[in-house]
Amino acid sequence: MGYLKFDRNKLVNLEYSLKREVLSTDRAGGYCSTTVICCNTRKYHGLLVVPIAEFGGANHVLLSGVDETIVQHGQAFNLGIHKYPGVYEPRGHKYIQDLEYDPLFSLVFQVGGVMFKKEVMLVHNEPHLMIRYTLLDAHSDTILRLKPFLAFRNAHQLSHANMVANTRHEVIENGIASRLYDGFPTLHMQLSKENEFVGSPDWYYNVEYQEEKNRGYDYREDLFVPGYFEVPIKKGESVIFSASTEKENPAGLKRQFQQELGKREKKDSFESCLRYSASQFIVRDGKDTEVVAGYPWFGRWGRDTFIALPGVTLAASGDVKSCRNVLDTMSGQLRDGLFPNIGKAADAAYNSVDAPLWYFWTLQQYEKAAGKDAKVWKRYGASMRSVLKAYRDGVNEGIRMEENGLVWCGVPGKALTWMDAVVDGVPVTPRMGYAVEINALWYNALRYSLELADKAGDKKFVEEWKDLPARVKDSFVAAFWNPESRYLADYVDETGQNMWVRPNQLLACSLPYSPITDEMKGHVMDVVTRELLTKKGLRTLSPKNENYKGRYEGDQPTRDRAYHQGTVWPWLIGAYIETGLRLYGKQFLPTAKELLAGFEEDMTSYGLCSVAEVYDGNPPFLPGGCISQAWSVGEVLRSLELVKEFEKNL
């Protein structure tokens, strides 16, 4: 029995199994994801989901699933499972005897005297899925029947039976090739062994995705089945099913599977699970290296990239090169002092006030890891100067530095900070004015830039900027510190301080350069601990506030109203632990360890081997949002490294 343990008796319980999802990425933008019993519950689930350049690089579900059927003595046992209106059919999950996820996701089925194993692998750096089927035990002739379910649609949409779909297939070596619609790549489905393909094209109607229904979206679609493969299989024999956008050599599939398996790392500890998860966020596309914000539905986000990057590269594996490559890619997309928050090229949205300021923090982490080889000012100084100048002179109508040195941000009808949910065109948390974390990040950016410029002998820069940090520091304390409440305002506008207890103030404590005193930091930690801390991270609003929402559930407007109004975000645990270690030293270690250990249970729930995007603000703190979120994983990993480093220096 390995590190990851699952209750075999509960696997047949749909309430247990359908809430646990697996994810594998090809490190090039594509992925494979489903539940642990291979019953898709999201429109984003699929065994082969790939980005298609012709469609703007968006992910598309080609192969939704494969049903396996064991045939003996003319009797068929279908191991698949789908949700249709009012029924699950077939109910193959009842044959599952075991689940493993080390190093691959695999299931063992028992049907009478038949023991049958299924191992799922997504090849790295190419759109290619392989499933190895092994007949572990059988006492009579056995036939394996494989029925592929095709979607050929955008991952955010659903498909329906139509007359446009090309339902014909082409026979290729040991398989078939199918392409339902023009513009899509051809899907080549092949077996490692000679087989018979029985063409019986048909639509399967009203397949339901329960999680989409729960989230208030359309949840029914029709999937196309071109027919099924039949192949005899003997005891001890393995057969590979391959699905790829390229034609494969069937004779080499077993060897390729074994070679790929040899590259997979073990998931034999909490940290190894997190490292595996971290590696899946790094995507290489030509010369670009990027960070996917979360699976299965997020793409690259600028803000998330900078916050997650130190954890998913440096803390996860000491991967300085990948960290630098992402920084280089993002630096090349800087425009007028801003980084794209979402989208690319012509579709990029430059609407995040904090992403450019997180860039400086990420560079600080990179320099710490790379040491003398970092050459930050030489490599990134031009980008840093561009951001600072844009903020000082005014980036646009919504972002500008004012006479007191603080950054003012806000555009009516928009949310520019990370608390960016909008419902019916109205920001849930607009925070227009001086936002506390923005100005803490601004101060940190100024101080760090001056430090680098001074070391590099850039006298011109130092002379131009040297007086600003002191002004910002004085203005920050005057604007945000409330001596009566003894914590920092969340934002300040023309009406004064907004004293809602939120976690944003904690960044003024955790950043390398802080504008407040240690005494102030202690008071901030006190209120955050009292009102925001949970075992899964920090609430985004105190439960004492009348606007607090303790559950993250319902349709999109309902979820968005709770998104930053009490919902817990795991990534904030990094700032909390870093501040605690700096302020309280050794006495804070047990707290830090206990908080981090609280995420270990997540390795076998929700998104296996990963950390969710958010959690409920109320106990029992159920997970929600993306099953695997980059900055959640990154900050837990970075916090683990902070603890290790602190203990090493005791």
The model's pLDDT over 185-223, given as tens digits with 9 standing for 90+, comes to: 999 999 999 999 999 999 999 999 999 999 999 999 999
Show the domain range for 296.
269-396
186 domain residue, yes or no: yes
| pLDDT at residue 497, rounded to an integer | 98
For position 46, which CATH number holds? 2.70.98
> Is 341 in the same domain as 227?
no
160 domain residue, yes or no: yes
The three-state secondary structure class of 526 is helix
Mean pLDDT over each residue of the chain, to the nearest integer: 96
53 domain residue, yes or no: yes
> Is 346 in the same domain as 429?
no
Strand 606-607 relative to strand 537-539: parallel, antiparallel, unpaired?
unpaired
Domain end (from 373, 396, 419): 396
Domain end (from 263, 292, 310): 263
| pLDDT at residue 347, rounded to an integer | 77
> Is 392 in the same domain as 353?
yes
341 pLDDT higher than 80: yes
> Is 250 in the same domain as 274?
no
Q: How far is CA 37 from CA 16, 279, 465, in A?
A: 10, 24, 59
Q: How far is CA 167 from CA 66, 161, 199, 245, in A?
A: 17, 11, 10, 17
Q: Residue 1 — very low, low, confident or very high, per pLDDT cuts 50/70/90?
A: low
143 pLDDT higher than 90: yes
> Is 510 in the same domain as 414?
yes
Span 440-451, pLDDT tens digits: 999 999 999 999
9 pLDDT higher than 90: no
% pLDDT > 70, the chain: 100
315 domain residue, yes or no: yes
527 domain residue, yes or no: no
> Is 391 in the same domain as 487?
no
| CB-based contacts of 587, cutoff 8 Å, min separation 6 | none
410 pLDDT higher than 80: yes
Contact 435, 489 (CB under 8 A): no
282 domain residue, yes or no: yes
| pLDDT at residue 85, rounded to an integer | 98
135 pLDDT higher than 90: yes
What is the spatial distance between Cα 32 and Cα 50, in angstroms, rounded to a whole number?
9
> Is 142 in the same domain as 51?
yes
Span 533-566, pLDDT tens digits: 999 999 999 999 999 999 999 999 999 999 999 9
397 pLDDT higher than 90: no
| pLDDT at residue 346, rounded to an integer | 73
48 pLDDT higher than 80: yes
| pLDDT at residue 342, rounded to an integer | 87
> Is 257 in the same domain as 298?
no
DSSP letters, 45-104, are -EEEEEEEGGGTTEEEEEEEEEEEEEEETTEEEE--EEEETTEEEEEGGGGEEEEEESSS
Q: Residue 2 — very low, low, confident or very high, per pLDDT cuts 50/70/90?
A: confident
612 domain residue, yes or no: yes
Rounded to an integer, the average pLDDT of 255-269 is: 95
| pLDDT at residue 206, rounded to an integer | 98
Per the structure, the count of domains in the chain is 4
> Is 191 in the same domain as 225?
yes
> Is 249 in the same domain as 391?
no
297 pLDDT higher than 90: yes
- Closest C-alpha to 480, from 428, 447, 438, 420: 438
521 domain residue, yes or no: no
> Is 487 in the same domain as 385?
no
pTM here?
Answer: 0.96
> Is 198 in the same domain as 71?
yes
H or E segment to which residue 537 belongs: strand 537-539
